[in-house]
């Protein structure tokens, strides 16, 4: 009888430690978001002590939200962490930039026949729905902006705003202001990107 009780107690202790470690991590991210509140205003949304904090504020007079998420990889054997940024700065153009490493093999194969252009030595790919727009994109400027955002999974630019999912191996570091500010600036620049009027032959 004592062995089942001991096993159950150890299991409870294991889950308690996991919850505590998660809370410690979330508390650190919460403190990082407090720095954003100090510099950009806004507020932090956190329903419970073990819940994920989310920052909502303003950047360049546009609403911005910062949160984070996880995704199971390799058939559930590992987890990938992402820092998510939503900037409600209306994009002048509609396009999506995706990381080749983030896309699965079927997704890469599905790109065939679509309106795409590879960036940074095929490290990223930009996709549009209009072939004419693809020829008018300022690829050189986009690649310059990507250097501020790298590494990321994808960034979606639309008239409703921008959504970016950044790959993270250290959430505590990647949610600090000095690491988030280049993302904010890069996304804002992408939102103001316009089509080139002249196309070189």
Position 199 in a domain: no
pLDDT digits (tens, 9 = 90+) for 148-172: 999 999 999 999 999 999 999 999 9
Position 198 in a domain: no
pLDDT digits (tens, 9 = 90+) for 24-67: 668 889 999 999 999 999 999 987 766 789 999 999 999 999 99
pLDDT digits (tens, 9 = 90+) for 77-113: 678 899 999 999 999 999 999 999 999 888 999 888 8
Position 123 in a domain: yes
12, 72, 19, 78: which is closest to 49 by C-alpha? 19
Please tell me the distance from the alpha carbon of residue 177 to that of residue 175, in angstroms, as a whole number: 6
CB–CB of 200/135 below 8 Å? no
Number of domains in the chain: 1
CB–CB of 184/135 below 8 Å? no
Position 196 in a domain: no
Structural domain including 181 reads 2-191
Position 24 in a domain: yes
Structure-token match 């990647």, residue found: 174
CB–CB of 56/42 below 8 Å? yes
Largest CA distance in the chain: 82
User: SS3 for 58-126, per residue?
Assistant: EECCEEEEEEEEEEEECCCCEEEEEEEEEECCCCCCCEEEEECCCCCHHHHHHCCCCEEEEECCCCEEE
Position 110 in a domain: yes
Position 97 in a domain: yes
Please tell me the distance from the alpha carbon of residue 13 to that of residue 35, in angstroms, as a whole number: 34
The DSSP secondary structure of 5-24, one letter per residue, reads HHHHHHHHHHHHHHHHHHHH
Distances (CA, A) of 122 to 91, 108, 118: 24, 12, 5
Position 120 in a domain: yes
pTM of the model: 0.83
């Amino acid at each position: 009888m004592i062995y089942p009780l001991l096993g159950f107690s150890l299991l409870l202790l294991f889950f308690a430690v996991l919850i505590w470690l998660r809370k410690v991590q979330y508390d650190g991210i919460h403190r990082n978001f407090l720095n954003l509140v100090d510099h950009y205003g806004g507020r932090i949304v956190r329903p419970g002590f073990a819940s994920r904090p989310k920052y909502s504020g303003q950047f360049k007079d546009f609403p911005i939200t910062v949160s984070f998420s996880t995704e199971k990889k390799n058939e559930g054997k590992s987890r990938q962490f992402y820092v998510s940024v939503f900037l409600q700065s209306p994009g002048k153009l509609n396009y999506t930039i995706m990381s080749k490493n983030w896309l699965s093999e079927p997704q890469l194969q599905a790109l065939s026949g679509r309106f795409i252009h590879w960036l940074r030595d095929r490290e990223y790919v930009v996709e549009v729905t209009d072939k004419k727009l693809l020829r008018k994109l300022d690829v050189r400027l986009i690649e310059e902006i990507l250097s501020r955002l790298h590494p990321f999974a994808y960034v979606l630019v639309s008239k409703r705003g921008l959504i970016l999912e950044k790959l993270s191996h250290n959430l505590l570091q990647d949610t600090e202001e000095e690491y988030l500010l280049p993302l904010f600036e890069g996304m804002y620049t992408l939102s103001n990107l316009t089509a080139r009027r002249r196309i070189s032959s």
